[in-house]
Amino acid sequence: MLSTTVHMGSFQQTAKPARAAPGGCEYEDMDAVNIDSMLARFSEHWAPKKIAELNDYDVKIVKVLGDFTWHAHTDTDELFLVIDGRLKIQLRDGDVALGPGELFVVPRGAEHCPRADVETAMLLMEPRGVVNTGDAGGDMTADLEMLT
Ligand code: NI
Is 21 within the bounds of a domain? no
Give the whole-angstrom CA distance, residue 78 versus residue 125. Answer: 6
Say which residues have a Cβ less than 8 Å from residue 144's Cβ, sequence separation at least 6. 48, 49, 50, 58, 60
Whole-number Å distance, alpha carbon 110 to ligand 1 midpoint, is: 9
Give the whole-angstrom CA distance, residue 69 versus residue 56. Answer: 26
Q: What is the pLDDT of residues 103-112, one digit of tens each?
A: 999 999 999 9
Whole-number Å distance, alpha carbon 126 to ligand 1 midpoint, is: 9
> pLDDT band for position 18 (50/70/90)?
low
Whole-number Å distance, alpha carbon 140 to ligand 1 midpoint, is: 11
Is 123 within the bounds of a domain? yes
Q: What is the pLDDT of residues 26-63, one digit of tens each?
A: 778 888 999 999 999 999 999 999 999 999 999 999 99
Give the whole-angstrom CA distance, residue 123 versus residue 142. Answer: 16
Whole-number Å distance, alpha carbon 142 to ligand 1 midpoint, is: 12
Is 125 within the bounds of a domain? yes
Whole-number Å distance, alpha carbon 60 to ligand 1 midpoint, is: 13
Is 28 within the bounds of a domain? no
Q: Do you know the residue count of the chain?
A: 148
Whole-number Å distance, alpha carbon 15 to ligand 1 midpoint, is: 42
Is 27 within the bounds of a domain? no
Q: What average pLDDT does range 65-93 have in this prediction?
A: 97
Whole-number Å distance, alpha carbon 50 to ligand 1 midpoint, is: 15
Is 101 within the bounds of a domain? yes
Total structural domains within the chain: 1
Whole-number Å distance, alpha carbon 20 to ligand 1 midpoint, is: 44
- Which residue range is the domain that position 53 belongs to? 35-146
Write down the pLDDT at residue 21.
66
Q: What is the CATH number of the domain that holds 111?
A: 2.60.120.10
Is 108 within the bounds of a domain? yes
Lowest-pLDDT range, 9-13, 16-20, 83-87? 9-13
Write down the pLDDT at residue 25.
76
Taking a C-beta distance cutoff of 8 angstroms, is the pair 78, 129 a contact?
Answer: no
Is 98 within the bounds of a domain? yes
Q: What is the pLDDT of residues 121-136, one digit of tens each?
A: 999 999 998 888 998 9
First-to-last C-alpha distance (Å) of the chain: 41
